[in-house]
Structure 1
Amino acid sequence: MDNERRHLVMEWYESYYDDVYRFILYMLGDKQICEDFVHDTFVRAYTAVERFDHRSGVKTWLISIAKHLVLDEIRKRKRRKLFPIEKDIPSTLNVERLFENKEAVLELMSDIQKLKLNYRMVLILKMVEDCSTKEIADILDWSEPKVRKTFSRALHSLRKISQKEEGDGQFEQTL
């Protein structure tokens, strides 16, 4: 069983590493600790693989595990009042396909870090991870209407932040 479990989790690692990494990077904005959190996510998946009930997809389950790790870290940071924002994007990420240039990506990452936690999670899952509303609802344990409403509010808040800092029109060009 251990060999089967190890093989299964290694398949997941190869298939979903980038998705989990991107989610954690955008949530925490710190690529130095991102690798540790990805590792911890897959270790937890390995130890809990018997409890995976296939009600959701593997990617949804893994991101849900990562979400819990990230939320714990954010709570710790709040207690320590530390919110570093990473200023370099790893070249392995293909975020340039979503945005015109690296500066726009960095500005957007910085703006996303300023959002409320729930807004940040929904935006990252929808826009970066390209999760469906149902997948997001499964990951966050919310209803689909709550996901849609929170996403709408998150976009509105992100527009306000971007317009304040960049002037009207910049946000729309970035997305």
Structure 2
Amino acid sequence: MLINFKIIYEKHFRDVYRFIYSLCGDESLAEEITQETFLRALTHIDSFQGKCQMKVWLCQIAKNIFFTHQSKRKRISDCEIDMDNSLPSQDQPLVKALAQKDEALRIHKIVHRLKEPYKEVFTLRIFGELSFAEISQLFNKSESWARVTFYRAKQMIHRRMEEEGSFE
């Protein structure tokens, strides 16, 4: 089946964009997700079986990308909330400290010195943006194990940061 992707793009871009914009209400995010949608569709066009309209297939891809984006944002936000709740006296959560170059280097050094599996679980969760379910599958452990290991890694990092005077 020979498909002219340029025609598909021109015909459906506006519909996919409007669909995503209706979900997020953010023009730049809607445009970014729409572009990602067409890139994914292009790389997976051979999986389109024609059982639904092309526009429906594209909107399904867009919706999946949007929900993945939202879950990543939520994970980062949850991590910031967790950090605030676990150290009430702390001025800034660990994730915000990572955004500052000086603090980020200090945190990376501490993470590098963590023992396994704490180092890997923390890295996969924060930098790899994996869910606890995905981490648990990698280690062949329970999701609870992944959560507890991540929590303990955060505590170790906070404790070492406090010892070094980073959170004063």
TM-score range, shorter chain: 0.3 to 0.5
Q: Bigger radius of gyration, 1 or 2? A: 2
